[in-house]
Amino acid sequence: MADKTLQRLDVQAQPDLVTRLLKGEQATPAGRPAIGPVPTSSILDRVRGFLPSLESANEDLARRMAEEPAQNFDIEARSARLWMA
């Protein structure tokens, strides 16, 4: 059977840290963090550019669904026909 020895990491004790944590004290930050506006994401710009074309396609689909028979929009039946062809 394989050797199942347990290895332990040697963690050096930090008594100051342990004492502060037990007392509930917060670590003192080196300075105030720099908080500002988040830069614009290129993905967000691409999504914003895509939304108008998605809206237009949805309107076109709704118009076609009102004019054409429902069987033209049954994607399961269409997929089955493609596999049988």
- One digit per residue, pLDDT tens: the chain, 85 residues? 556 677 777 767 677 777 777 777 666 667 777 888 988 889 999 999 999 999 999 999 999 999 998 888 877 766 555 555 5
Q: How many secondary structure helices (H) and strands (E) does the chain include?
A: 3, 0
Residues 6+ apart with CB under 8 A from 65: 73
**Terminal-residue alpha carbon distance, the chain:** 58
Calpha distance 26→21 (Å, rounded): 8
Query: What's the half-sphere exposure (Cβ side, CA atoms, 13 Å) at 72?
Result: 8
Whole-number pLDDT of residue 43: 92
Whole-number pLDDT of residue 26: 65
